[in-house]
Amino acid sequence: MDLEGGVRGECDEDPPALAPPLLRLQPLQLLEVKARGRFGCVWKAQMSSEHVAVKIFPVQNKDSWVNETDIFVTPGMKHDNILKFITAEKRGNHLEEELWIITEFHERGSLSDFLKGNVVSWSELCHISESMARGLAFLHEDVNIKGEGAKPAIAHRDFKSKNVMLRSDLTAVIGDFGLAVRFAPGEPPGETHGQVGTWRYMAPEVLEGAINFQRDSFLRIDMYALGLVLWELLSRCRAAGPVDEYLLPFEQEVGPHPALEELQEVVVHKKMRPSLKELWLKHSGLAQVCETVEECWDHDAEARLSAGCVEERISQVRRLTAGTGPPTSDPHGPLVPMLTNLDPKSPVCEDREL
């Protein structure tokens, strides 16, 4: 779904058996293309009585199809904030073969597309942010799922607003696992490349080619990208007053199609980040989100927050702002006391750091 520069990993294996034969026999009609990118395209389709999303990979992008399918069928990989997988299959003959992944369909599309055409209220920002962080926290966790076995920690490695879908009620669901990597306890992650993903969202250590190939290092790379996505939400929130036109992270600094070298200069050498406006800091709730954003995109990877901590912080600030301040019709939203118990060492975040 993305059109920006990036690098895909490599994989030569076929995925495991995917769907019961009866599911594959269901009639499916492609209706319209919803997104195009380097991997192929995403269609809105009709399957029986419901709409589904069909992601179609050309055969030369088989590695991404295999990897994404493997991640989707990982035991325990079912969660309210992870895109619901239906099946994956090969279509067509050998010369014109296509590789399909079929998932649930969300009419609102990606968070990026939504923010281009819409502004969000304070409560909507909290809901999207909290559900997005909850999905990423689940992805990053080693958990034992009753009846399904152990789910390993998974690093997304291409986290961005284009890969976050929105349900009709603005609940966030995370998708696009073509670059994701699993970390089973006691096992190495297998062969993987360091500098992959979308350049604009790459953490400084990735842009520099200086990452440590350990589980926590990969999870911290996702957290840097989460900070940028939270900034995108802040930039389109009307709670503190006038809202500017939607821009991608660093679009103001390096334009819409930056070269890798430009981002290395801005992010690694100058240590720049998208600007946090004074207006945001005057709204108590937004000020707390700004503080969280800064701790997510910290240049020191080990200082970054965990996804679970971000979820807890947003949840707490949302609860403390609920029902306070002026009526919700006020464009500036609630004015609340500054919150003082949201640092990484507080009870909210203990046992949540990476």
Q: Specify the pLDDT at position 300.
A: 96
Gap between the Cα atoms of 325 and 233, Å rounded = 22
Q: Which fold has domain 6-104?
A: Phosphorylase Kinase; domain 1 (3.30.200)
Q: Specify the pLDDT at position 202.
A: 96
Superfamily of domain 111-321: Transferase(Phosphotransferase) domain 1 (1.10.510.10)
- The answer to whether domain 6-104 and domain 111-321 are alike in fold is no
Helix (H, G, I), strand (E, B) or coil at 168: coil
Amino acid (one-letter) located at 345: K
Instruction: Tokens 């200069």: give the residue.
Output: 265
Residue of 158, 176, 222, 298 marked active site: 158
DSSP secondary structure string, 87-146?
Answer: EEEEES-STT-EEEEEEE--TT-BHHHHHHH--B-HHHHHHHHHHHHHHHHHHH--EEET
Q: Per-residue pLDDT tens for 154-171?
A: 999 999 999 999 999 999
- In sequence order, what are the residues at sequence separation of 6 or more whose Cβ sits closer than 8 angstroms to the Cβ of residue 245? none
Q: Which tokens belong to 143?
A: 């958990």
Q: Specify the pLDDT at position 221.
A: 96
Active site residue 158: yes
Chunked into runs of 10 residues, the chain (354 residues) has average pLDDT values of 45 45 66 85 92 92 93 94 96 83 96 97 98 98 79 95 97 96 76 76 92 87 98 96 95 94 97 96 95 98 97 94 49 41 48 48
E strands present in the chain: 6-7, 28-37, 40-47, 50-58, 85-91, 98-104, 143-145, 149-151, 153-155, 164-166, 172-174, 181-183, 197-198
Q: Specify the pLDDT at position 327.
A: 36
Q: Specify the pLDDT at position 328.
A: 38
Report how far apart, in Å, the C-alpha atoms of 133 and of each of 67, 93, 128 are. 23, 41, 9
Q: Specify the pLDDT at position 196.
A: 79
Q: Specify the pLDDT at position 192.
A: 61
Can you give the residue ranges of every domain in the chain? 6-104, 111-321
Q: What is the pTM of this model?
A: 0.85
